[in-house]
Amino acid sequence: MVERVAIADGVDVPEVADDGRRWVVGAVIVDADGRAFAQRRAPHRAIFPDSWDIVGGHVEPGESVVEALAREIREETGWRLTEVVADLGSLTWTPGDGVERFEVDYLVRVEGDLDAPALERDKHTEYAWVDETGLDVLADRDDPEHTFVADIVALGLERAREPR
């Protein structure tokens, strides 16, 4: 059970992700200074090791997209999801493990001490707050053409500046 989470007008968030696909959620969190939160995946992670990422992860069986967003934000940062602000798109991708994923990403608001995220130290080694001038650091070191995280963060920053 998730605490009440506001959904902004016009944002479509699926209630239950049980259509047979392996769903993944992603959250772009922007602070009051207009910077987005990113965290570096640990080097031993099977998928995208040592790469920068946004908060997110797999939707568990029987879990709604909002429940998964709230859980992943709480697990990865200690913060509480308060609002889904904007839909940042979706994509289907298949990493090296061969399992196809359907990912939905959202701009969200959270409550908590943004200066002290409670990182999952076995999964993430560091964090950063980045603005448009720091997006290049989010590119994959092993594959600089892989800019998905930088692109989704840029879109989240852009949408965060839009009047509400």
pLDDT, tens digit, 9 for 90 and up, residues 107-134: 999 999 999 999 998 999 999 999 999 9
d(CA 107, CA 84): 6
Average pLDDT of the residues in 63-89: 96
* Lowest pLDDT segment from 30-34, 48-52, 152-156: 48-52
CB 31 within 8 A of CB 129: yes
- Which whole number is the average pLDDT over 62-90? 96
Instruction: Tell me which CATH code domain 6-10+24-161 carries.
Output: 3.90.79.10
Predicted confidence (pLDDT) at residue 16 exceeds the cutoff of 70: no
Both tokens of residue 98? 């061969």
| pLDDT score for 164 | 77
Q: Is 3 left (phi over 0), alpha (psi -120 to 50) or beta?
A: beta
Is pLDDT at 1 greater than 60 in this prediction? Answer: no
Q: Would you give the distance in Å from CA 127 to the centre of its chain?
A: 13
Average confidence (pLDDT) over 49-71: 94
Strands (E), 12-66: 22-29, 36-41, 52-53, 55-58
Residue 147: pLDDT band (50, 70, 90) is: confident
How far apart are the two ends of the chain, measured CA to CA in Å? 28
pTM confidence score: 0.93
pLDDT at residue number 26: 97
Higher pLDDT, 54 or 137: 54
